[in-house]
Amino acid sequence: MSELTFAKIDRTILDTLKPPSRIYWWTLAILFLGVLTGAACWIYQIFTGIGVGGQNNPVAWGTYLINFVFWVGIAHSGTLISAILHLLRAGWRNPIARAAETMTVFAVCIAGLFPFIHLGRVWMVYYMLPVPNQRNLWQNFQSPLMFDVVAISTYLTVSSLFWYTGMLPDLATVRDRATGLRKKIFTVISLGWTGAHEQWRHYTRGYLFFAALATPLVISVHSVVSWDFALGVVPGWHTTIFAPYFVAGAIHSGLAMVLTLMIPLRKIFHYEKIITINVLESVAKTIIFTGLIVGFAYGTEFFMAWYSQNPLEMEIFRYRPTGDYAVGFWIMVICNTTIPLLFFFKRVRTTIAWLFGISICINIGMWYERFVIIISSVSHDFIPHAWGLYSPTAIEFGIMIGTFCLFFCLFFLFVKHLPSVSMTEMKETLEQGAGHGD
C-alpha cells in the first residue's frame, strides 16, 4: 500500500479501460450466446405458457423464485460494502466498493427480471402499478408481493443513484485523460465535475446520507423478500427468524460473489497492489461472521421445531435432512456453515486458491439453501394427500443460464468501459494512511 501514489493509482485503473484483448471478445460472445439462449427460452415460455416450467401443484414456486431470492441476496452485500462499511469507517472497503456496488445494481436488475418471467403473461405486469383505471382496481398493499414491488423498485432506484453519484468524481478523472468520442461522452456524464471545494462540501454530505439511508434499506428489502415466505402459514416458512436470517444469508452469498468476481478481476487487471490480500482476507473474515449467523439460524429452526411439539413443524424438519431433497439440504449445510469455518485459519484466508474455491462453494450452497427452503416446504405441507415433487425443466435451466450469463455479460461490459476501482476512494485511503496520527 505504501508504494502506491495518486499517479500510480490513476495509471493502473485507467489502463484497464484500454481496448481489450481477443480473449475478452470471445468470452463476451459466449456469454452473449448464453443470454440469447435464455431469451429464447423465455420467449418460448411466453408463447406456450408457464406450464413449460416445472412448477405445478403443489410446488407452485420453483427456480424462478429461487433465482429471484438468490440475486437479491447477492445485491445486498454490494450495498453492505459500499454503504455500511462507509458508515463504520472500514478502510478495506475502498478498493472493492465500486465493483461491489456495480454488482449490486446488475444483480437487482437480474432479480427484477424473475417476477416478470414467473408472471407468464408478462403483458399483465401493469396490474402491479397503482395507476388510476376505469374499473377502480388498485393493488392490495397488504400483500407481501406488493411489498416486494415497492421494496425492489426502491432498491433498484436507490442503488443506481448511489452507484452513479459515487462514480461522479471518477468519471471526471476519465474525462480529463480521454480523447475523442470517449472524452465527449464522459464530459456529459460527469456533469461538469471539477472537484471544486464547494462541490466536495455538498458531495460528502450527500454521500453520507446515501450510505445512511441505504443501510436500513438493505435490511428492509431482504426482510420484505423473506416475508414472501414467512407471512404465509406453510410449515417451514412461517417462522419469525426469517427476516434477519435471510439478511445474513444474503450478505453471506453476496460476499462470496464479491470474492468470485474480485479474484479474477484482480489477476487480469493487475490490481494486486490495490486489491491486496488484506482486503480479501477482511472479506473472508466477514464471511465467517455471516456464516455463523446462518448456522445459528439453522440450529434454532431445528430446535424450535422440536420445542414447538407441532407435528407439522417436526415433520418438515425431518423431511429436509432425510427426505426427497436431502442431497440439497446437506449441500446447503456443508457449503454454507462448515466450509466457511476454514477461514478461521490464516493460511486459508490468505491463499487465493482457497478463497476462490470456498467462495464458489458458498455460492452453490446459498443457491441450494433457497432451493431447500422453497421447494421442500411447499412440496410437503399440511395434508399428505397433497404432497408432490418438483424438478426444474430444461426451459427453466435455459432461463437460469441466460440470467447468469447476462449478469457476467453486464459485468464484463462494465469493467472495460467504466473504472472498476474507485480512484477517488483509493487516493483517500492513501491520504488517511499518510496523515494518520490523530
Partner 1 sequence: MATDYSVMGLFTDENQAASTIRAIKDSSWPLCRVHSPIPSHKIADALELKKSKVGYFTLAGGITGFFAGFLLAAFTAAQWNLIVSGKPVISLVPFFIVGFEFTILFAIFGNVVGLIHQMRLPEFKGLEHYDPRCSGEHFGITVSCKAGDLEKLEAFFQTQGGEVKVFAA
Partner 2 sequence: MSALAENNKRKKSLWLICLALIMIGFGTFLFGLAGNHPERAWQAYLVNFLLWSAIAQGGLLFSAIMHTVKARWSGPLSDLAESFTAFFPVSFGLFLILFLGKNHIFPWLHQDLHGKEVWLNVPFLFTRDCMGLLVLYGLGFAYLYHSLWLKLDRSISHGKIRKYLYKRWDRSIPDVQRCNSRMTVIGILYILAFTLILSLIGYDLVMSTDPHWYSTLFGAYTFVKAFYIGLGGLIILASILHLNPEIEFKLKPSQFHDIGKLFFAFCLVWGDFFYVQLVVIWYGNIPEETAYLIERTMTPPWNSLAWFVFIICFILPFIILLNKKIKTKPQFMSVLCTVVIMGIFLEHFLLIGPALNPHVSALPLGLTDGLIFLGFLGLISLAVMYFLNLFPELLRGETGEVK
d(CA 434, CA 5): 11
Confirm or reject binding of residue 433 to partner 1 (CB under 8 A). no
- Closest CB to partner 1 among residues 45, 239: 239
Q: Which stretch binds partner 1 (CB under 8 A): 36-44, 62-70, 80-88, 215-223?
A: 215-223
**DSSP letter assigned to residue 82:** I
CB 399 within 8 A of CB 149: no
For partner 2, the closer of residues 302 and 414 by Cβ is 302
109: cell is 436488475
Report the partner that residue 428 touches, choosing among partner 1, partner 2, none (CB closer than 5 to 8 A by kind).
partner 1
Q: Which stretch binds partner 1 (CB under 8 A): 44-52, 151-159, 250-258, 386-394?
A: 151-159
Nearest one of 30, 3, 85, 124 to 405, comparing CA atoms = 30
Q: Does residue 28 contact residue 406 with C-beta atoms inside 8 Å?
A: no
From the list partner 1, partner 2, none, partner contacted by residue 300 (C-beta under 5 to 8 A by kind): partner 2
User: Judged by CB under 8 A, does residue 238 bind partner 2?
Assistant: yes
The residue from 309, 353, 383, 384 that contacts partner 2 (CB under 8 A) is 309
- The answer to the question of residue 227 lying near partner 2 (CB under 8 A) is yes
* Among 40, 52, 119, 150, contact with partner 1 (rule: CB under 8 A): 150
Alpha helices in 55-140 (DSSP H): 63-79, 85-87, 94-119
- Binding at 130: pick from partner 2, partner 1, none (beta carbon under 5-8 Å per type): partner 1
Task: Report the distance separating Cα 432 and Cα 138, nearest Å.
Answer: 53
Could you give the angle at the alpha carbon of 144 between the alpha carbons of 140 and 146, nearest 5°?
Answer: 50
Q: What is the dihedral of CA 107, 175, 214, 98, to 10 degrees?
A: 50
Using CB under 8 A as the binding rule, the residues of this chain from 392 to 431 that contact partner 1 are 423-424, 427-428, 431
As given in the structure block, the three cell numbers for residue 378 are: 411447499
User: With contacts defined by CB under 8 A, how many residues of the chain interact with partner 2?
Assistant: 25
Cell of 270: 493487475
* Partner interacting with residue 184 (select from partner 1, partner 2, none; CB below 5-8 Å by kind): none
Site for partner 1 in 160-179 (CB under 8 A): 161-162, 165, 169, 172-173, 175-177
Instruction: Give the number of other Cβ atoms within 10 Å of residue 410's Cβ.
Output: 18
Rounded (10°) angle between helices 197-230 and 63-79:
150
- Binding segment for partner 2 (CB under 8 A), chosen from 24-32, 102-110, 148-156, 239-247, is 239-247
Residues lying near partner 1 in the complex (CB under 8 A) are found at 5-7, 10, 130, 136, 138-142, 146-147, 150-151, 153-154, 157-158, 161-162, 165, 169, 172-173, 175-177, 187, 191-206, 209-210, 213, 216-217, 220, 224, 423-424, 427-428, 431, 435
